[in-house]
Amino acid sequence: MFISSAFAQTAPAAAGGDAQSSLMSMLPLLLMFVVLYFVMIRPQMKKAKEHKAMVDALAKGDEVVIGGGMLGRITKVGDSYVAVEVAPDTEVQVQRMSVVQVLPKGTIKAL
């Protein structure tokens, strides 16, 4: 009485443009990946490359900022560690990769 009979609809015949419609449905996903690459992945890779070059170029006498924000002057350079003088007669040994920034010469005057 209140419920009418339901009839199944037949599926439309598959057309030859099926490959084109699947490509068009993948297009937003591909576009998002391209945007993600240029906005996030590429700048991070560039920054990591610059940081590695800076760490490889560390030398004795460079004034640096260590990861915790501590300033100091490099006194010894090893393969994976550097000794940084943070105060007169006070040296801290840190990993090379923990050096965040190399400061211009003469920035630290207290040492």
DSSP code for 38: I
Q: Which residues pair with 7 in a beta bridge?
A: none
Domain boundaries, the chain: 19-57, 59-103
Average pLDDT of the segment spanning 19-33 = 87
| Residues 6+ away with beta carbon under 8 Å from 70 | 84, 86, 92
Q: What are phi and psi of 47, to 5 degrees?
A: -65, -40
pLDDT tens, residue by residue, 1-15: 677 776 666 666 555
Q: What sign has the CA pseudo-torsion 86, 88, 92, 93?
A: positive
Q: Is 105 a residue whose pLDDT tops 60? A: yes
Q: What is the pTM of this model?
A: 0.70
Residue 83: CB atoms within 10 A of its CB come to: 16
Please tell me the CATH code under which domain 59-103 is placed.
2.30.30
